[in-house]
Structures are given as C-alpha cells and as structure tokens.
Amino acid sequence: MTKRTFVTIRQLERLFRLHLDISPKEFINVTRYRYAVDEIRQISSRKSLVDIACECCYYDHAHLANEIRKYTGSAPSDLSAR
C-alpha cells in the first residue's frame, strides 16, 4: 500500500482520526454494522440472522448480535419490528 499511495499505515490511521475521529478499524466495524442493520430492517428480506452475519463478514450470528447490542442496546429481533 505504501508504494502505491505514498501513505504509511500509521499516517492513514492519523488521517482517519483527524477527519473522522475514529480509527480505520472502527470505521469498518460501524459500516459493516450499519449494512447488517439495514438488511435486518428490510421487510422484503427473508434472510436469517446467520445469512446476514455471513454476508456482512461476521464470524457468526452471535458476533453480529453482540455488535448490535453494543451499538443499540437492543437485540436484533427488536430491530426488525421497527
């Protein structure tokens, strides 16, 4: 990456924190979480939580459920009812 962009990993982390106030890893986690929540809330989607977790690159459905609880304080089943 450094050879193509002339930005080291550490510089990229600093730029993320400067502009977004979060680390690149946190940005990826939030982006992945938001996509998963959108998938859960889609009424037309009949995907299971396991399918959504796999699609969003979570290790398993429990990992996804823990992330949802971390950011919202509620269970995944509560999100689909909204």
Start-to-end CA distance of the chain, whole Å, equals 42
How many helices, marked H, and strands, marked E, lie in the chain?
6, 0
Looking at per-residue pLDDT, the higher value among 74 and 3 belongs to 74
| Least confident stretch, 3-7, 10-14, 37-41, 59-63 | 3-7
CA distances from 46 to 30, 37, 38, 41, 60 (A): 23, 14, 13, 10, 18
Q: Average pLDDT, stretch 40-61?
A: 85
**pTM score:** 0.77
Domains of the chain are: 2-80 (1.10.10.60)
